[in-house]
Structure 1
Amino acid sequence: MGNKLPPGQFETENWPILHQGDVYEFSEDTWNFRLFGEVKEEVSLSYSDVMKLPKTVSTIDMHCVTTWSKFGTTFEGIALRELVNLAELNEGAKYVKIYGYYNGDPFGYSANMPLEPLLGDDALFVYRWKDQNHEWEEITPKHGYPLRLIPPASFYLWKGTKWASGIRFMKEDEAGFWEELGYSMTANPFKEERYR
């Protein structure tokens, strides 16, 4: 699927910045990451807890619903599966909602996805990146620092929650922030699943 342009998209070498609400200002003292919902016991992680987890480096294509696609960006981060491994899931937990800060609320933004496609090397909570024009650098606050989900290329990028704050495990799929406003629940760029 690498370098395959989905329908209705154009290729860019830039990484455009689009977001709703305020840019979150990271404070390590108050930041934490929660694993909750359909779990035997809720898990709360500090920034240092998260950064001690095994790291993955992966090149992931990004497709934004606003019609740009960026190929060949390499990210370093924590694979979503590493966080899943810290929680004992209840039977039937097949969906997740990835939460992030929105106007000061740690759980004000969310995006829903099925869990299974997120268990590979291409679903990362990233903190640094590089491409053909940039050496390794931290993601900026506007791109979601300190942690931002980059989803697999089989999802539009709005599923990539910025300023990530937690994962809620669910048995049933449930609309997130943009989905409640009429965006697709499944968001596959190759099927042009932009809106419901």
Structure 2
Amino acid sequence: MNPKDKLLPPGQFETEKWPILHEGDVYSFQEAQWNFKLFGEVSKEINLSFQEMMKLPRTITTVDMHCVTTWSKFDTTFEGIALHELLKLVEVEPHAKYVKVYGYLNNNPFGYSANMPLEALLGDDSLFVCRWKDAYHDWQDITPKHGYPLRFIPPASFYLWKGSKWATGIEFMKEDAAGYWEQRGYSMTANPYNEERFSDPNF
């Protein structure tokens, strides 16, 4: 592991807790209505039921989380479906270089989104997580407030707002496009080690 990954990013403080912050109402999971969509710059759109999603191979990895509200939590272990596993199900067009990861917001399955470059999400540290543990907690399902049944956890090179709760799909894009918070003035790139919090560096 790169030693830099264990450095506290500028403007952050370390916490052992996993604080809960989210936009809008907490999603109430209904398995019969749940659907995960792979779409955009692909040869054919794919829709997965909850059971189909849960049958996909699982990955376990330990990541650090850095929230733009200034807390950082190191060494949380997650179990989930790596984004690269989902790429095996769909033929992505060669010119697709970016994605938006969507999630529920106030009962809208595509109300929340976060944009990222696809190349940065090809490792085991880009997971749609269902379970977690840390030094103080044994394995447990993520709670509704943390994004149950699936929440995207991005690599530590992104602030945590890129981690869409109540995940519903991935849009593959030819060009970068602002997600929910990016449309409201937050950074498109969101690197915590460069303290890329807002689109205007003078904010």
**Range of TM-score over shorter length:** over 0.9
Give the secondary structure class of the aligned counterpart of 2:33. coil
Name the residue aligned to 2:28.
25
Q: Return the offset for 1:130.
A: 0.2
Structure 2: segments with no counterpart, 5+ residues? none
Instruction: Give the aligned partner of residue 48 of structure 1.
Output: 51
CA distance in 1, matches of 2:67, 2:87: 26
Trace 1:3-42 onto structure 2 (pairs within 5 A): 3-42=6-45
Q: Distance in 1 between matches of 2:108 and 2:5?
A: 36
Distance 1:104 1:11 in 2: 33
**Matched residue SS, 2:52:** helix
Secondary structure of 2:31's partner?
coil
- Match of residue 147, structure 1, among 125, 150, 154: 150
Deviation string, structure 1 residues 90-142 (Cα, Å, up to 9, x no partner): 12001000000000000000000000010101000000000000000000000
User: Structure 1 stretches of 5 or more lacking a match?
Assistant: none
Q: Describe the SS at the equivalent of 2:79.
A: strand
Letter in 2 for 1:69: S
Q: Does 1:109 align with 2:112?
A: yes
Q: How does 1:37-76 map to 2 (within 5 A)?
A: 37-76=40-79
> Matched residue pairs, number?
196
1:169 matched residue in structure 2 = 172
Identity %: 71
Deviation at 1:3, TM superposition (A): 2.1
- Distance (Å, rounded) in 2 between the aligned partners of 1:183 and 1:56: 30
Counterpart of 2:32 in 1: which secondary structure? coil
Matches within 5 A, 1:112-123: 112-123=115-126
Report the aligned-residue RMSD: 0.5
Q: TM-score, normalised by structure 2?
A: 0.96
Distance 2:92 2:5 in 1: 32
TM-score, structure 1 normalization: 0.99
C-alpha distance in structure 2 between counterparts of 1:14 and 1:2, whole Å: 19
User: Hey, what's the Cα distance between the residues in 2 that align with 1:104 and 1:14?
Assistant: 28
Aligned mates of 2:153, 2:183 — CA distance in 1: 21
SS at match of 2:86: helix
Other-structure match for 1:90: 93
